[in-house]
């Protein structure tokens, strides 16, 4: 027997941002397809027109592109099963709903909104009926249906759930699940405006698009028996279900804004790299056989395996995300680092190869987020007031007196320097230590303080002077000297 090609789909509703949870679903769909030589499809589920958010579709495209989840079929790239936007497939669903009516698996419901609301209120207090609907129209006599249709009474089409027995399905992660059919509501399939409900369109499209694996968050687990009843009514093959575990914050509560940013683009704005986000998200519910942690997308495609998905809730840990991010930042080559860090770097650094390389050396091993860069390099463009006591430093044996001596001697030397490069600064300054009778640490300490106003800088005095530049360095050193002279 030949196995059908594995086909997964990411089926987002364009209702806002791409959150960690949506991205995890997309990633796992992608990895399941790629790890099994299959295809990954993007389908936009926009039948709930009231919930659409402008720009949300672009956010979906941008996110998938940035993280490298390339879809084989979708609204923008086309494919043999299109259209891939549900609102453009409106005509597809109605005949299927009517087929179900003819075959006794669905019925027209003419109940008014007011009646349904009353029922819902009552079922809240009295335990009521599955889904809050009393199945009033399920057994309307045919002549009554004809009369209501002739009068063009607005109506929906509902699924006729079996009233007895149970439905069992197997989920690849959660195992075998059984529910009593009496608990399943006669859900609406087609709304009175002719639009399908999300639940109906989802099943029809998964079938028509030959989807073999349905991957989604575990919040859909409870709806799955209803989908299965539809597959059964149509006589279609049920796809493999892969429900993904809940995502929690570090405190064990469902991940939300309270824990930190949960939107992909917010995380990018906070200085995380797409590949670090992908790596962290891949481990939300999936565990490789060897407990490795660092995975590129290619490695994930190779090593991902559905059996490694766990049903226990996974924790999105921002500390861990920082760790991943630091690892990916460290692994960037210099030009890639500059590219990624561009919007965070001061203009005076960009475009100057020597300065760029220095900044790469200084920052790459030390930061865990790109957003730390402006703060760490702030001294280049601006020096804050600093207390004279900074000139005193035990370790380098710097005192106000030694600082005074060093600045007095070094400023003229630096002024006469013909080339303001790292190597000339280094060679010239190092040659001054001996005549000054100082260790280099003692000599360089006041230069760093006067040039940056900071006790801690990325890089030492020479790097600081180089980055601040000749004119501004000399101005700062002179101002330090004057302050020391008056102290």
Q: In angstroms, give the least distance from the CB of 56 to ligand GLU.
A: 11
Q: In angstroms, give the least distance from the CB of 205 to ligand GLU.
A: 10
Q: In angstroms, give the least distance from the CB of 250 to ligand GLU.
A: 25
What distances in angstroms separate CA 446 from CA 388, 389, 414, 460, one per listed residue? 10, 11, 14, 11
Nearer to ligand GLU, 63 or 452 (CB): 63
Give bridge partners of residue 108 from the DSSP assignment: 157
Give bridge partners of residue 241 from the DSSP assignment: 171, 214
Strands (E), 110-190: 156-159, 166-171, 175-180, 188-190
Q: In angstroms, give the least distance from the CB of 38 to ligand GLU.
A: 16
Nearer to ligand GLU, 179 or 400 (CB): 179
Nearer to ligand GLU, 202 or 398 (CB): 202
Q: Is there a contact between 261 and 267 (Cβ–Cβ < 8 Å)? A: yes
Nearer to ligand GLU, 56 or 467 (CB): 56
Q: Which two tokens stand for residue 234?
A: 């149509």
CA separation for the pair 345, 361 (Å, rounded): 14
Residue 193 burial (10 A CB sphere; 0-12, 13-18, 19+)? exposed
Q: In angstroms, give the least distance from the CB of 226 to ligand GLU.
A: 12
Nearer to ligand GLU, 19 or 34 (CB): 19
Cβ neighbours, 10 Å, residue 86: 24
Rg of the chain in Å (alpha carbons): 33
Show Cβ contacts of residue 32 under 8 Å, excluding neighbours closer than 6 positions: 6, 8, 38, 213, 215, 242, 304, 306
Q: In angstroms, give the least distance from the CB of 8 to ligand GLU.
A: 10
- Parallel, antiparallel, or unpaired: how do β-strands 7-10 and 39-42 relate? parallel
DSSP structural state of residue 289 = T
The residue with tokens 């796809």 is 239
Q: Which positions lie near ligand GLU, rule CB under 6 A?
A: 11-13, 45, 198, 202, 216, 220
Q: In angstroms, give the least distance from the CB of 238 to ligand GLU.
A: 14
- For residue 257, indicate whether it is catalytic: yes
- The H or E element spanning position 14 is none
Catalytic residue among 257, 311, 394, 395: 257
Nearer to ligand GLU, 226 or 404 (CB): 226
Cβ neighbours, 10 Å, residue 374: 16
Nearer to ligand GLU, 132 or 217 (CB): 217
Q: Which two tokens stand for residue 149?
A: 């249709």
CA separation for the pair 94, 71 (Å, rounded): 28
CA separation for the pair 22, 13 (Å, rounded): 10
Query: Which residues are annotated as catalytic?
Result: 257
């Amino acid at each position: 027997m030949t196995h059908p090609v594995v086909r997964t789909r990411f089926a987002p509703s364009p209702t806002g941002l791409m959150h960690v949870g949506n991205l995890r679903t997309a990633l796992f769909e992608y990895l399941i397809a790629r790890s099994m030589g299959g295809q990954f499809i993007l389908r936009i589920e926009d039948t709930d027109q009231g919930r659409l958010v402008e720009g949300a579709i672009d956010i979906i495209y941008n996110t998938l592109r940035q993280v490298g989840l390339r879809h084989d079929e979708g609204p923008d790239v086309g494919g043999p099963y299109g259209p891939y936007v549900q609102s453009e497939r409106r005509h597809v669903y109605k005949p299927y709903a009517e087929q179900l009516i003819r075959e006794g698996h669905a019925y027209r419901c003419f109940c008014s909104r007011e009646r349904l609301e009353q029922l819902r209120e009552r079922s809240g207090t009295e335990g009521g009926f599955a889904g809050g609907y009393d199945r009033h129209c399920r057994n309307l006599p045919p002549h009554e249906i004809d009369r209501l249709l002739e009068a063009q009474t607005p109506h929906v089409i509902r699924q006729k759930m079996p009233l007895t027995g149970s439905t069992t399905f197997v989920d690849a992660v959660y195992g075998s699940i059984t529910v009593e059919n009496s608990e399943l509501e006669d859900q609406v399939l087609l709304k009175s405006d002719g639009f399908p409900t999300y639940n109906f369109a989802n099943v029809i499209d998964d079938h028509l698009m030959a989807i073999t694996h349905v991957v989604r968050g575990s919040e859909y687990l409870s709806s799955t028996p209803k989908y299965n009843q539809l597959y059964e009514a149509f006589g279609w093959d049920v796809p493999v279900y892969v429900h993904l575990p809940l995502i929690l914050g570090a405190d064990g509560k469902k991940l939300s804004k309270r824990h930190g940013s949960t939107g992909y683009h917010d995380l990018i704005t906070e200085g995380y790299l797409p590949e670090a986000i992908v790596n962290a998200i891949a481990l939300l519910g999936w565990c490789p056989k060897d407990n490795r942690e660092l995975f590129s997308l290619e490695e994930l495609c190779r090593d991902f395996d559905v059996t490694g998905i766990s049903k226990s809730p996974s924790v999105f840990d921002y500390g861990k995300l920082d760790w991943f991010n630091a690892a990916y930042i460290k692994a960037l080559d210099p030009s890639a680092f500059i590219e990624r860090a561009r919007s965070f770097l001061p203009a005076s650094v960009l475009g100057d190869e020597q300065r760029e390389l220095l900044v790469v050396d200084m920052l790459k091993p030390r930061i865990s987020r790109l957003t730390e860069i402006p703060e760490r390099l702030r001294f280049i463009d601006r020096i804050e007031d600093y207390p004279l006591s900074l000139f005193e430093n035990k370790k380098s044996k710097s005192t106000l007196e030694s600082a005074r001596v060093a600045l007095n001697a070094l400023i003229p030397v630096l002024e006469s320097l013909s080339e303001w490069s790292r190597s000339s600064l280094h060679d010239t300054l190092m040659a001054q230590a001996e005549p000054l009778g100082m260790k280099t640490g003692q000599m360089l300490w006041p230069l760093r303080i006067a040039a940056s106003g900071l006790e801690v800088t990325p890089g030492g005095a020479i790097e600081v002077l180089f980055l601040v530049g000749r004119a501004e360095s000399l101005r700062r050193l002179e101002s330090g000297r004057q302050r020391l002279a008056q102290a």
